[in-house]
Amino acid sequence: MRKLLIALLICAGLFGLVALGGYFYPRQVAISRSLVIEAPRWAIYEEIKDLRRFENWSPWAELDPQAQIEFEGDVGPGQVFRWKSEKREVGAGALQVVYLKEDEIVELNLYLDQESSEWCRVSLVLKLVPEGTEITWKLNGDTGINPLMRYVFHFMVREELEGQYEKGLDKLKRLVEAKARPLVEITPKKVEDFRYFATLPRETTESKLSDDMGESFPYLYEKGFPTLRNKRGRRFQHKDLPSMTIYLSYEEAEQPSYVDPKITYQAALEIPSDARIYPPNPEEFVSDKIKGGRYLIGIHKGSYDGLKNSHKEIAEYLDRNALKLNGPVIEKYVVSMWDTDDETSYETQIFYPVVQR
């Protein structure tokens, strides 16, 4: 009996020491691990914004390939990933997307039990650096007032979790770098003035741009193109005048990625300096020029589907080289539907007028 009492007193003492030690650890917890990936931000963002892709780089996926997983919702705030495993290292829980900002940040709530309302905030932050893109994986939470929970996290869980974050980022790096390649060849160059014939400026949103351009260009060719003449007074052939899109403004608001940015554009044709227009001022069209000078010229080859990401790569080039935009952005369709039916053979020149910051 005496031995039992001694044993109980020892256990109580140890428990007391652990509990007392827990008071010396902070209630708030924060973990952060970073890694540089040699890839543009958009390529990494494509992998981290969708929870259905999380298993591709999750450090816990290989610990229990038989874990039960399920998904709810599409990409964006509200999407949920749930898992359940018999293995202690994996356990059960859920991730829910709460905020996205395109190519910059993904924020999630981490529920440590599928039935619990208690959560930690997890974020994945992308930042341009000279070597590529730095991704930082963060966790912030609250262990509560229980000193034992503080002790368990800081003494037993923290180091293991930091190691798993490092493994996950390394898997993500290998995954992205194996697939990523530059979409656009970028060359700084001095260019001459652009003379153009175009529709009047039209405001739309990014999600509607393709449909609106599908109306603007046919109208340009049907109503505007026939009014153009060469210096001999003859009509041009379609192949004589490259089509262009002139982006007058792009309102990339400091808002989540699900806010649709506003875009003002013109559907245009590049015309020679001696081109004539009959009648001189056709309604709903304008003839003008864009000043030449210092430009970044990006060559995008292939389908127009990848143009948005080519623009992102040029924008990153600006940031890394302390440049800023200095006028309208131009897409010039050098090889297009007028030249071939094969979209993979399309060639688009993208012009960014720039000045030093």
Last residue of a domain, one of 135, 150, 179: 179
Structure tokens at 51: 């929870």
Q: What is the 3-state secondary structure (H, E, C) of 27-43?
A: CEEEEEEEEEECCCHHH
Alpha helices by DSSP H, 93-251:
147-151, 158-179, 209-219
Q: Pick 80 or 29 by higher pLDDT.
A: 80
Domain check: are 103 and 46 in the same one? yes
299 half-sphere exposure, CB direction, 13 A CA radius: 8
Chain segment 242-275, per-residue pLDDT in tens: 999 999 998 765 555 556 889 999 999 999 988 8
The DSSP call for residue 52 is G
Q: Give me the chain's average pLDDT, please.
A: 84
Taking CB atoms within 8 Å and a gap of at least 24, the contacts of 82-91 are 82/114, 84/114, 87/63, 89/60, 89/63, 89/64, 90/60, 90/63, 90/64
- Helices vs strands, H then E, count in the chain: 6, 19
- Whether 172 is in a domain gets the answer yes
Domain check: are 31 and 168 in the same one? yes
CA 299 to chain centre: 20
Domain check: are 212 and 165 in the same one? no
- Whether 319 is in a domain gets the answer yes
Residue range of the domain that includes 264 = 184-356
Domain check: are 284 and 316 in the same one? yes
Structure tokens at 226: 């026939």
Domain count, the chain: 2
Last residue of a domain, one of 156, 179, 202: 179
- The top-scoring range by mean pLDDT among 89-93, 116-120, 200-204, 232-236 is 200-204
Domain check: are 208 and 92 in the same one? no
CA 190 to chain centre: 30
- CA dist 245 and 226 (Å) reads 19
- Whether 225 is in a domain gets the answer yes
- Whether 213 is in a domain gets the answer yes
CATH number for the domain that contains residue 71:
3.30.530.20
What is the rounded average pLDDT of the residues 217-226? 92
Answer yes or no: are the C-beta atoms of 80 and 96 closer than 8 Å.
yes
Q: Pick 27 or 18 by higher pLDDT.
A: 27
Write out the DSSP string of 220-242: IIIIIGGGEE-TTSPBPPGGGS-
CB crowding 295-314: b at 16 or more within 10 Å, else e: bbbbebbbebeebebbbbbb
Instruction: Check whether 353 has a pLDDT greater than 50.
Output: yes
Chain segment 297-309, per-residue pLDDT in tens: 999 999 998 899 9
Domain check: are 314 and 211 in the same one? yes
Domain check: are 134 and 208 in the same one? no
What is the rounded average pLDDT of the residues 48-60? 94
- Whether 338 is in a domain gets the answer yes
What is the rounded average pLDDT of the residues 176-200? 91
Domain check: are 147 and 220 in the same one? no
- Whether 59 is in a domain gets the answer yes
Answer yes or no: are the C-beta atoms of 82 and 112 closer than 8 Å.
no
What is the rounded average pLDDT of the residues 201-212? 93
pLDDT of residue 95: 92
Domain check: are 193 and 309 in the same one? yes
- Whether 244 is in a domain gets the answer yes
CATH number for the domain that contains residue 334:
3.20.80.10
Which residues on neighbouring strands pair with residue 330, listed in sequence order?
A: 246, 351
- Whether 235 is in a domain gets the answer yes
What is the rounded average pLDDT of the residues 187-202? 94
Answer yes or no: are the C-beta atoms of 319 and 128 closer than 8 Å.
yes
- pTM of the predicted structure, to 2 decimals: 0.77
Residues for the chain: how many in total?
357
Percentage of the chain modeled with pLDDT above 90: 56
Last residue of a domain, one of 129, 164, 179: 179
Instruction: Check whether 193 has a pLDDT greater than 50.
Output: yes
Q: Which of 39-48, 90-99, 240-249, 326-335 has the lowest mean pLDDT?
A: 90-99
The DSSP call for residue 193 is P
Domain check: are 86 and 114 in the same one? yes
Instruction: Check whether 17 has a pLDDT greater than 70.
Output: no
CB crowding 30-64: b at 16 or more within 10 Å, else e: ebebebebebbbbbbbbbbbbbebbbebbbbbeeb
What is the rounded average pLDDT of the residues 317-335? 94
Taking CB atoms within 8 Å and a gap of at least 24, the contacts of 102-106 are 102/45, 102/257, 103/41, 103/42, 103/45, 103/312, 104/41, 104/45, 106/45, 106/48, 106/49
Structure tokens at 64: 């229990």
Answer yes or no: are the C-beta atoms of 184 and 298 closer than 8 Å.
yes
CA end-to-end distance (rounded Å), the chain: 82
Domain check: are 223 and 322 in the same one? yes
Domain check: are 153 and 250 in the same one? no
